[in-house]
Every structure is written in structure tokens, then in C-alpha cells.
Structure 1
Amino acid sequence: MRKIIIFGNSGSGKSTLALKLKGEGLAHLDLDTLAWLPSNPPERRPIDLAFEQIKAFINDNNEWVVEGCYADLLELVKPFANEAIFMNLPVQLCQQNARNRPWEPHKYPSKKEQDGKLPMLLDWIAGYMERDDALSYRAHSVLFQGFQGKKTELTENVK
């Protein structure tokens, strides 16, 4: 049974790869859907509440893929996973992918609203190597190095 975590910078192709795996029969959980409270400005959901939702997903599915850039949440999923994929693409390629991203209706009410957030997203992507939080290169590298199962590091777009 495949139980996969996928992580990396915004725009690295996590969702694209997860949707491909979903097409192969794996249940899919995008951590963006539970990492944030429905507030303005956005505020992170307490980790214990997010983990309850993650555990319910894991218990309800035999084979799954959990993806996101939240190393703190993925550390909680790691003991249940048997495969880790680190989407370690260059920042410039992640930014190009973000510019070409199709509308994500589960995140934005319209393509126009999504595109309006693009400048902020490109800046966020650019800071990946310098940040020192749960959504940083450093946190993803530590998560990847500490994973005990099958590990794959991808440095280019998935075909």
C-alpha cells in the first residue's frame, strides 16, 4: 500500500503530482485545505486541530497521498507514510509554474482573484531558501533527511 507525503516550495508541482497519483487510485489530501482558519487575515489552524483532520483522512483511506509545504504538519504524517517525495525545484522554475498555474477553485472564488495574488506568491516563492519556518527549504530538507522509507528528490517538473 502506498502512503506518500509530497512537499516543496509553492509552485514546485506538489498538487500536480498528487493529482496524478490520485488518478492511480490514491486518496488525496491537500494540506492547504486544513492548515488555515477561515479568517481574514489568514491565520494558521492550531496544529492539534489540523492533525485530528489528518488522522481522520489516514484512518479512512488505505492508500493516500498528503501534500503541502507545511513541514510541521508533515512531521505528524511522516510516521504513517512509507514514501516521501521532495519537490526540490529551482526557485525560478517554481515561479514560472506559479505564473502558468490553472485556476484553483478550491482556493480562490475566481481566476481573477487568484491572479491578483500572483505578485505576493512570486515574492513568497523567492524567499524559500532564506525563510526559517515550517514552509522553508531548511524545514523540508530536515523532513526529507529524517524520513525512513522510500525517498525521492525531484529537481524538475513532473511530466
Structure 2
Amino acid sequence: MDLTKTLIVGNSGAGKSWLSERIADSLNGTWIDLDLIHWQPGGFNVARQREEAIRLAREAANHDRWVIEGIYGWLIAEIQSGATALIWLDLSEAECTNNIRQRGIRRDGNDESFAALLHWAETYRSRDGSSSYTAHARIFHEFAGQKQRLCSRDEIACFASLLGAP
């Protein structure tokens, strides 16, 4: 796979950041978390204006080597034409919520935001919108470039090991 410009989608807690960091390191490229583009600095309670988020995502995709990861299908749609590869981390909701519990509260979160994140991850297949299972499946199936669907932590770890990543 040509991972020079890689998009990674999947549920919260699927391991997108973990894998993205390893791919970016192997490429000596830029790793971009779409959470940092979607949300205003300082937390997960105020979204950026849509136009501003799109502009920032497009700027990130202008680098020569990058890995951009996130749940936001609407942002992925804005930059996917420039991607060389797409990876969908399609883990069960139970595995995602377990991963979230193991890593704990992050990025200045609190108990309330942590509970909301767990609920969000639990509803991946039942919710609607561009950050849902259905939307990610559509992105994956419509992507014309090289793509890989990984359905377990073992598959993700195996994929990372092929990069020489720990």
C-alpha cells in the first residue's frame, strides 16, 4: 500500500490515533487528528465554524506526507481525493469502549465528557450522520484508491508491525 497520504476512519476508541502515529513516524510525515480541526482549542464542547474546519483540513492535506485520522466523514469527504490510502478501523463497540476506559480521560476532559464519549462509542452502529458506521462504510466502499479494513486490535497491531512500528 502507498501510505504516503493516508486517511484513517473509525469509531472513537478504535485505535485511530495509535495507528496514525505509527504510520506517520514510518513515513516521516505529519499526523493530523481531525478532533483538533473540528473542535475549537480547549476541549470538545465548541465546534469550529464548518468553513474554517474545512479550510484547516485542506491545509493539512497539502503536506507531502500525512496521516489524517478521525470520525468526521464530512471532513474526510473534503480531502479524500488527495489520499493514496484509506484504512477503516471497524472494531466492535464493546472493544472501542474498553479501549476508551483503558486510556481514561484525555485532553482536559471530565467525568461528564468521558461518559458522553463512552455513549458516543456505544452508539456507532445505531446513530446517523457522517460519523456513523454507515457513513464510514460508504466512505470505505466508495474510495477508489488502495484501502484496508481492520476489524480487531490484533489486525491493527499486525498491520503496524509490517511498518516496523512497535
TM class by smaller structure: 0.7 to 0.9
Q: Could you tell me which residue of structure 2 aligns to residue 66 of structure 1?
A: 68
Q: Distance in 2 between matches of 1:90 and 1:40?
A: 26
Q: Could you tell me which residue of structure 1 aligns to residue 134 of structure 2?
A: 138
Q: Distance in 2 between matches of 1:20 and 1:99?
A: 22
Structure 2 counterpart of 1:58, one-letter code: A
Find 2:34's aligned residue among 16, 31, 34.
31
RMSD: 2.0
Off by >6 Å, runs of 4+ in structure 1: none
Find 2:119's aligned residue among 117, 123, 126.
123
Structure 2 counterpart of 1:145, one-letter code: H
The number of aligned residues is: 152
TM-score normalized by structure 2?
0.83
Gaps of 5+ in 2: 158-166
Distance 1:3 1:91, change over 3 A: same
- 8 Å contact from structure 1 (residues 31, 68) kept in 2: yes
SS in 2 for 1:117: helix
Structure 2 counterpart of 1:81, one-letter code: A
Q: 1:44, CA displacement in angstroms? A: 2.7
SS in 1 for 2:6: strand
Q: Distance in 1 between matches of 2:47 and 2:59?
A: 19
Distance 1:40 1:122, change over 3 A: closer
Identical-pair percentage: 31
